[in-house]
Amino acid sequence: MTFRTLTLFSLLAQSACIGFQVRKENNALGPLSEFEGTVSAGDVALEEGRPIIVLLVREDGAKPRVESSAVLYHPGRYHFFANEGRYSVFAFEDLNSNLRIDDNEPRGAAAKQLLLHEGKLHSPVDLTLKNDPSLAAIDWHPTHDEVIKIDDDRLRERLGRKGHWAPAQWRAESGDDRLFLMEPYDPHRTPVVFVPGVGGTPDDMKAVIESLDHSRYQVWLFWYASGMRMSLSAQSLESVLDEYRVLHDFSNVVVVAQCVGGMVARDAITQMRERTPPYSVAALVTFSTPWTGHRMAESGTSISPMTVPAWIDMSEGSAFQKSIIATAVPEVPHYMFFSYGKGSDVGDDGTVALTSELDLTMQRRATEIIGFSETHMGIVTNKESLAHFNEILGKVQQQIAARQQAAPTAPASAAAR
């Protein structure tokens, strides 16, 4: 689906009564804040290797709601992005790694609630863990290990579109951003996480998914409200990966993204670097990502009466884009696929400009760059493209095996912790 189609779709939505409500919700989701703090052990003797879960709780809705989580493996710093609003912060040591707050687990809460406005809160929000069962637990029951088929009604195209132009309504209908599994978790196969583009669905990459060697890889699908500010979507991806790591103790993951999903995936990987990672992102593979933005997004923010929050970050030259390009992630191999139009030399693939796909800094940092004379969506079905993608996965798997052989005395997860 092209940016033009999505922009038209969002404008047409205003002709119905839903338009005003969507516009109001999108305006509330536009301003972005961020803050950080630390979690300390205090007098609590923490168990080595047990995760500390930090929860960001929105307090100004009908009832408190956990907006995001951060996983630490030792006392230290955490960081959150958030929309404007009133929040509290809660932390606990997850002694049995079940992502639940049990009665016997040390816990702590920020001394007061936070009122966040656009921009950065410079004062750190610090918490100290205590063995204090009288401190009320937060209602947090995340859902994981949901097995789903790619054609499941929960992943249908209508919801992909709604996730773009009406992200708040998408969340009300679909729930939080999450990872779906296409098969029950298998500790012997490397997870490959698929991140669709704006307004897209996992079905957009169905041919890529079907081309995998499923005896070596297991497919995880990131399903998210793609119209949210992109740092928030990236934070969601980081959070759910960290939560799955608590449950399953995997050592490596490969992330594959299409179009704008590549920017979300790249930012998630950047955010992961800000804490001690207990697992390795073995590779990032992106298809036709507009690294320097898209002109239609900029037009949307300036002339459309209903701006989608993600358009702020997708606009050419946005602060988000500059940050993505300025931040190097040398420890994660990046394989960059680009499409330049089928039988054409017009400089785009029918959706994204070639100059945006081939930003020079991103080229210099990529492990490999390969282009195909294909349309924007054709590159993820092209037989030669799929064959090369699987060659890359074969190389990545060899690198994973070599690292494991080089460090036989301890699992990668234990060494990182």
**Structural domains of the chain sorted by starting position, each given as residue range(s) with its CATH number in brackets:** 32-128 (2.60.40.1120), 153-416 (3.40.50.1820)
Sign of CA dihedral 119, 124, 128, 129: positive
Q: Report the C-alpha gap between 171 and 209 in whole angstroms.
A: 25
Phi, psi of 18 (to 5 degrees): -65, -20
Q: Cβ distance 159 to 125 under 8 Å?
A: no
Distance (Å, whole) CA 31 – CA 328? 26
Tell me the C-alpha distance between 389 and 397, whole Å: 12
Contact indicator for 141, 53 with CB cutoff of 8 Å: no
* H helix or E strand, kind and range, residue 384: helix 383-406
* Residue 140 host element (H or E): none
User: Measured between alpha carbons, how far is residue 398 from residues 159, 249, 371 in Å?
Assistant: 38, 20, 24
User: Which structure tokens are listed for 26?
Assistant: 């999108």
Q: How far is CA 176 from CA 26, 171, 272, in A?
A: 17, 6, 20
pLDDT under 50 in the chain at which residues? 1-2, 4-17, 297, 299-303, 410-417
In whole angstroms, how far apart are CA 350 and each of 234, 301, 339, 362, 375? 26, 21, 9, 21, 6
* Residue 2: predicted pLDDT: 47
Kindly report the three-state secondary structure assignment for every residue of 146-184.
CECCCCCHHHCHHHHHHHHHCHHHHHHHHCCCEEEECCC
Both tokens of 234, joined, read 């990236």
Return d(Cα 196, Cα 262) in angstroms, integer: 8
CB neighbourhood size of 331 (10 A): 10
* Predicted pLDDT of residue 393: 97
Angle between helix axes 295-303 and 3-12 (nearest 10 degrees) is: 20
Backbone dihedral angles phi then psi of residue 371, each to the nearest 5 degrees: -115, 155
pTM, full prediction: 0.91
Question: Both tokens of residue 69?
Answer: 């989580």
Helix axis angle, 261-272 relative to 319-326, nearest 10°?
A: 60
Long-range contacts of residues 92-97, Cβ cutoff 8 Å, at least 24 apart: 92/52, 92/53, 92/129, 92/137, 93/44, 93/46, 93/47, 93/50, 93/51, 93/52, 93/53, 93/129, 94/50, 94/51, 94/52, 94/53, 94/246, 95/47, 95/50, 97/50, 97/51, 97/246, 97/247
Residue 220 CB burial class (10 angstroms; 0-12, 13-18, ≥19): buried
